Amino acid sequence: MSDKRPCSLITGASAGIGAAFARALAARGHDLVLVARREDRLHALAEALRERHGTRSLVLAADLADPSSPQRLFEALEAEGYAVDWLVNNAGYGLPGTLVANPWQAHADFIQVMMTAPTELAWRLLPGMRERGHGRVINVASLAGFVPGTAGHTLYAASKAYLIKLSQSLALENRDAGVHVCALCPGFTWSEFHDVTGTRQKMNAMPRFMWLSAEEVAHQGVDAVERGAVVYVPGRVNRIIKTITELLPDRLSLWLSHRESARYRNRHD
């Protein structure tokens, strides 16, 4: 690795917001560590970025539902001599259904991917950033982390609220060491997410003004962490929703969330 080029590790880099982060950071002169389960997609992305930006990419296929993955990723970085300057904890998915409608292992895997793995990767990579006096961590949370929880996708909003609070604490703990930490909280974003959760048909009925592209989310996230924002909600509509939610009485906010969530949640009791 060249000392002159920053290095960014991006989880969930094979599609959607993760791939958009890879393109945005490659355009800024970063070398990349691309992490996801779909190795073929990672290699295709790495080759495209090499041809366009001269980016060097280390492809690491990993399933973050495996509790050993963060340690193995860290060991691979050390073996290859990669010092990570930017960590983008982006990997994530939705688990349709109520809590009791899914087997416990499905929930355990979800918690591992959405909460434990991002925390462990930060724990493993922050010391190096602090030692070098510079670093950036983006935890891709969600507007769902601010609005009341819904019936169905039981752990999704909870996991995103966790990432927001984690980011706030990490930002305070590391700001004097030159490390910025930001919780990026997008709302509806064009990606494969809703195809995987089986809600694409419902999503297509949502007004287009409520949506942002993955590229917009990634670019705004990069700018936000660079200027030191600790929590950032991209999109004016999303910021309005966050503000309204905070101003409404809890009981009314919860009722509205329950009513509106039926439009885009598959509850599967």
* Residues with catalytic function: 156
Treating both helix axes as pointing N-terminal to C-terminal, what angle do 69-80 and 117-132 enclose, rounded to 10 degrees? 30
Q: Are 226 and 116 in contact (CB under 8 A)?
A: no
d(C-alpha 30, C-alpha 25), whole Å: 5
d(C-alpha 227, C-alpha 222), whole Å: 9
φ, ψ for residue 37, nearest 5 deg? -80, -35
Q: Are 60 and 34 in contact (CB under 8 A)?
A: yes
CB within 8 Å of 200: residues ≥ 6 apart: 194
Q: Are 13 and 37 in contact (CB under 8 A)?
A: no
d(C-alpha 163, C-alpha 118), whole Å: 8
